[in-house]
Amino acid sequence: MPMTTLNPRITVETGKMGGKPCIRGLRFTVYDLASYLASGMAEDEILKDFPYLEKEDFQAVHEFFASIPERIAVLEASR
């Protein structure tokens, strides 16, 4: 899968959470999960607090943020 393609676990829907990328259509953004991770919470702790999340969601969020430089390059090239 090219890095410019979002992981299918990451969804973007107009009108949901202001169009921000969410996890599996939930009202839980990739930024929410990244914020919890950045605050030092362990994955298991996050899963306990948010049981609707799945282990695979963490990898999808890591891929999302890792692909930002490539997605920016594609946007700039399309200008």
Q: State residue 27 phi and psi, 5-degree precision.
A: -85, 55
Q: Would you place residue 21 in the very low, low, confident or very high pLDDT band (cuts 50, 70, 90)?
A: very high
Domain positions in the chain are 10-77
**39's tokens:** 């605050």
Question: Which amino acid type is present at position 73?
Answer: A
Residue written as token pair 């599996």: 24
Q: State residue 2 phi and psi, 5-degree precision.
A: -65, 150
Tens digit of pLDDT for each residue in 40-54?
Answer: 999 999 999 999 999
**26's tokens:** 């939930």
Higher pLDDT, 5 or 75: 5
Instruction: Tell me which residue of 49, 51, 24 sits closest to 35, measured CA to CA.
Output: 49
CATH of 10-77, one of 3.60.15.10, 1.10.10.10, 1.10.287.540, 3.40.50.1820: 1.10.10.10
